Amino acid sequence: MATNENISSSVLNRLIKEVKDYTKQPVSDVTLQVNEENVTDLRAEISGPAETPFHGGVFKIKLVFGPDFPSAPPKGFFITPIFHPNIAKNGEICVNTLKKDWKSDCKLGHILMVCVET
């Protein structure tokens, strides 16, 4: 398990900035939970969007940021079991934003919005 002590300063600084920026402009219906001992393992709760089959549900996700972030995308997982074509059996979120279309300037808010819209 990684800790903030063994994360490169560039990754740590970027993630701290992303979290601070996110708290200023959060995504509607998404609650971010930061593990202060390991900021590379972010958790969030998504309230199921209105007018969808997921309305009324609360879905837990985690984002895991690797040592190559932001050059490489984080891995996203639904912790709450969910049946969806863009969610693998292991919960991995399979969307282009977190795969082939990843851009290093992608913000945390956008990543979470993609998870909501998935």
DSSP secondary structure letters along 78-95: ESS----TTB-TT-BB--
94 annotated active-site: yes
C-alpha–C-alpha distance, residues 42 and 99, integer Å: 18
Q: Looking at 1-118, which runs of residues are DSSP E strands?
A: 30-33, 41-47, 58-64, 75-78
Q: Which of 20, 62, 86 is nearest to 12 (CA)?
A: 20
The residue annotated as part of the active site, out of 94, 101, 104, 117, is: 94
Q: Which residues are catalytic?
A: 94
